[in-house]
A and B are shown apart, each in its own frame.
Chain A
Amino acid sequence: MDTEPQFFDTNATPGVVGQPLNRVDGWAKVTGQAKYSAEYNSLPGLVHAVLKTSDVAKGRVTGFDTTAAMKQPGVVAILTHQNLPKPVKVPDSQVNKGTLNSPMGFFPMLSDEVHYAGQPVAIVVADTLEHAQYAAALLKVNIAPETPVSSYQDPKAERYVPKNVKGTAGVTKRGDAQAAFQSAPVQLTATYTHATNHHNPMEPGATTAHWEAPDRLTVYDTTQGVSETQKTLALMLGLATEQVRVVTKYLGGGFGCKAWVWPHVVLAPLAAKAVSRPVKLVLTRQQQYTGMGHREEQEQTLRLGATKDGKLLGIVHEKTSTTSPWDDYAETNSRIINMLYALPAFESTYHLAKASVMTSTSTRAPGDMPGSFALECSMDDLAYQLGIDPIQLRLLNYAEKDPTNGHPWSSKSLKQCYQRGAELFGWNKRNPKNGQTRDGKTLVGWGMATASYPVHNSQGNARVRLYADGRAVVQAGATDLGTGTYTIITQVAADALGLPPENIRFELGDTILPSTQWSGGSTAAGRVSSSVYLAAQDVWQKLIKLAVADKNSPLYGAKSADVEMGNGRLQLKAKPATGEAFTEVMKRASLGDVEGNAQGRYGSVYREPSAAADADMNKEEKEAAAGYSMHAFGAHFCEVHVDPELGTVRVARWVSVMSAGRILNPKTARSQVIGGTIFGIGSALMEQTVRDPHWARYTNADLANYHIPVNADIPDMTVDFIDEHDPHVNAMGVKGIGEIAIVGVTAAVANAFFHATGRRLRSLPMTPDKVLDALRQPA
């Protein structure tokens, strides 16, 4: 590009960015025309694969009885570790895990080993799904069982401190938090527990694999990142990257579980290879619970030291959680505890115990969500103990800069979030004493908590093709998780091109499109919007170059830098009347279309790409080199009604105020915040997957028994945004909003429960049995 791209300015280009545009894919979805990954049914000779999974959690396969299953009509093959083609590479070591986008250091069906209940042990392929399902039911797998370990709570479990978890050291220290706590005038110590949670996307994991030639594989997969899945499949199957095409046009929710290449994604192409036909493999709802990870069960002990005025002095945090036999995986709860307040000293230790379970994985706001539960409940305790309003306490400890590295924030509007939220909620009417308000038989309480989520560095490409008739095709190999990516990028492209949104067609979810990173960690909106905006700039620069060199253009002879785009026209910045429609320039040059390409960067890589790209730096060093700490912030307020005899907790009111840079579309952003909050309310009050302590197998792996909130559990919700101008985060000034909304939700509910009852419930979910227990304790 000839000129430095401008930061996107809505004043300069008034249009649809920031408007509550309806979903551009809404019509296709409600009419059933949107094609999801399990709906490519017209592939030639398509057959259906059903996974047969292990009943037991540990053991060795001693044999298969395939007689009855093979007799069933339509059965094409029964594949086991004895006859399934082997992948050339599997994530079985730290090295391979680093290159493969697979979070689990184990691949099933390579041998007779069984390490978790629900592990695939065979694949039945048949002409119809029903035939495959029934034959799989008749297939007998003999497994010599061994005694499993069910969780970190199992007396047989051995606890250890790992070297690191997810890139964070097993033990980290900033200052001397132990000493700070020991000498603090006010000391709080509390332990928080969190049940196993599952993502439960509406659309289960599904992979359709089609070998179009021995060196040409197309996979329709439910993935949050087609590019990552493409690279991983290529490596595992011994193909070049370009020989694999991955397509994900629509996704029915991801929440982190579809961010990775789980075993079934590789088993489908292996099965397709074995039977020489396209194979569709869809996880059953039950298999979803042991097929794509989960949020691990965990407990945290937080020791908080403060002055008598409520100033934080130090926090010592310990987390204990279950991991798989192969991986040192834990959500990094310590991140948010370390950075959320002006905290002089912090220490965190992770304890793990290996159990007979699959590896847990990223689940909406991994780490920050459970971390905020411990921190924000403890802050609430401190506020009550010192008689300070919970918001005042947070303002007293407001971090004006990032306490972990001393850097300024690229933008931070948390104070405004507190203020706006308090106004919308009516917080000033709060009774400072708990247990004071009744509504009939129920106890009423108000609670609040802070939300925050980091900006993760991310980059990717986009292409914009502007046609001479004023229409455009915009492309990026991104994924829309169902959250509105199609819509917001259409809006950005419309404004960047000066066209109405109906003239834009945005294509995503295919590796034949410009590659971009996955939609995870709240990066998609910030990355894809800026790459599309910059690709549109590239189109304009090409047109401007043409115009100023064209004797027949009113802009002939002008400096490129003096020309701008305005409402579909090329015009002089200083004298907008001088200019012409871009269509005129293209007509004279006999151009049917003009194409622009760009790489968009999100996070500290936006301003400091060279420093951030330095391979010798770790993530923290890169961010430090960039000079700014980047986070979205927000605040939740809620009212709960507790029935002290029946043990029920119902949320009656909710207010969330978020600041996340420029809000591209307040309607889809609001839906994101509502969705995240409901996810959190579920975790707070009802969601838990229960593993039998002896069998290490889930006892409630379906949506009848794993409760997620129903409409009747959710009140009207008020969502508002604080406008933020952040020129550091990316060219669009956008921060992601996918994860932040769940952060702080469980604490806000628990804090409201405390306000209602005078009892602190530190174990999630807060089901009636725990509520009755808590209410038996003295206030």
Chain B
Amino acid sequence: MNDFSYTQAATAKEATTLRKDTPTAAYIAGGTTLLDLMKAHLQEHPQLIDINALPFRGIEQTKDGLRIGALETMSDVGEHPLVLQQFPAVSQSLLLAASPQLRNMATVGGNLLQRTRCGYFRDPAFPCNKRVPGSGCPAQDGDNHNLAILGVSESCIANSYPGDFSVALAAFDAVLTLEKGKGKQRHVPLTDFYRLPDSTPHIETVLEPGELIVAITLPTAVPAQRSTYLKVRERSSYAYALTSAAVGLDVQAGTIRAARVALGGVGAQPWRSREAERTLVGQPATDATFRAAAAAALQGAQPREHNRYKVELAQNTLVRALQQVAAG
């Protein structure tokens, strides 16, 4: 990787000012994904601004739910009693990801900004519209086994966010608090945070230059408490999801009163399926209902040669997750 300078910022103001002075600088928190990207020459930054001293910490109960500081680690959030009680799927999504060593280093804010594991993006020898806009997408007719089938475009079929945590956040209506400097904050629902590839796959989120993720808030809800995160992968741990599902159900007297569904591994971005939720609500909590919801979720799938299996696997994953939650 290139030589870079390293500066510790004590406050958000200092961090955003440094970033404004050097637009090609990058923030570094846990560093678990940034250093990989820099080593592979996928990103180059002359300066790294360490934000670990910023006060973006704490896992707190608010009157509406939970507020999680962006600099909390995946381990600490995943194992926190409040998260375990109120958002079991969120806890599972964190603890099923990566390895203990990585979870101890990686922050939840940084987790949201992981980049795709598409082999064509990760190897600069290949063309890639996400890495070099306009260069092409060999994944379309190449090795697309792990890639997305929902929200994809002719420019890109990568699962731009390859992880698990954002999938659970998408399901349970998380809102991100962002700060651009001068203490000005804005709130963006997780489901609006990521952008679909369309013809600009290199623009992945609505995060503005220099903007920081401050906190994640999760509103308390019955389906969030009765939730699960199911992850299907080729080996039992330390692998990205082929398909995953974050689901929550509020079932009363056998009838589904509320439902939350998001899918991982299949979407160009974490895939909240309101179609599936609509199919579930008001219906009996039976396998037939779950299958109908799964079919609705995958309605618009656009598979390629080697990821066709995901249409079925994602439905089976969702059905299994719903069965598990319904069974309590």
Contacts and interface: CB of A to CB of B under 8 A. Distances in A.
A and B are interacting partners = yes
Interface in A206-230: none
Interface stretch (B105-113, B140-148, B217-225, B249-257): B140-148
Interface residues of A, number: 41
B120 A699 contact: yes
B238 to A, nearest CB: 5
A768 B119 contact: no
Of A55, A693, A699, the most chain B CB neighbours within 10 A belong to A699
Contact of B319 (A645, A701, A712): A645
B239 A646 contact: no
Given A134-B1, A646-B320, A697-B126, A772 B237 contact: no
B138 A692 contact: yes
B312 interface: yes
A133 interface: yes
A699 B125 contact: no
A705 B242 CA distance: 12
B125 A710 contact: no
B232 interface: yes
Given A690-B143, A768-B309, A648 B232 contact: yes
Contact of A646 (B117, B142, B316): B316
B119 A769 contact: no
Interface in B207-240: 232, 234-239
A695 interface: yes
Contact of B119 (A117, A693, A705, A772): A705
B79 interface: no
Contacts of A430: none
Interface string B120-131: 101111100000
A118 B309 CA distance: 31
B186 interface: no
B309 A710 contact: no
B41 interface: yes
B5 interface: no
Nearest to A682: B235
Nearest to B118: A699
A273 interface: no
B2 interface: yes
B119 A647 contact: no
Contacts of B125: 55-56, 117, 697
B237 A712 contact: yes
A772 B313 contact: yes
A646 B313 contact: yes
A769 B126 contact: no
B3 interface: yes
A695 B138 contact: yes
Contact of B312 (A55, A686, A767, A772): A772
A427 B312 CA distance: 35
B119 A700 contact: yes
B79 to A, nearest CB: 18
Contact of A694 (B2, B41, B142, B320): B142
A695 B238 CA distance: 28
Nearest to B323: A441
A555 interface: no
B92 interface: no
B174 to A, nearest CB: 26
B73 interface: no
Of A648, A685, A710, A768, the most chain B CB neighbours within 10 A belong to A768
Given A695-B126, A697-B126, A773-B309, A704 B2 contact: no
Contact of B117 (A686, A704, A712): A704
B2 A134 contact: yes
19 contacts: A134-B1, A134-B2, A137-B41, A645-B320, A647-B232, A648-B232, A686-B234, A686-B235, A692-B143, A695-B138, A700-B119, A702-B122, A710-B236, A711-B237, A712-B237, A713-B235, A765-B234, A768-B242, A768-B313
When A and B form their complex, which 6 residue pairs have the shortest distance between CB atoms, in order from nearest? A699-B119, A55-B125, A769-B309, A712-B236, A645-B316, A699-B143
Interface of B: 1-3, 41, 117, 119-120, 122-126, 138, 141-143, 145, 232, 234-239, 242, 306, 308-309, 312-313, 316-317, 319-320
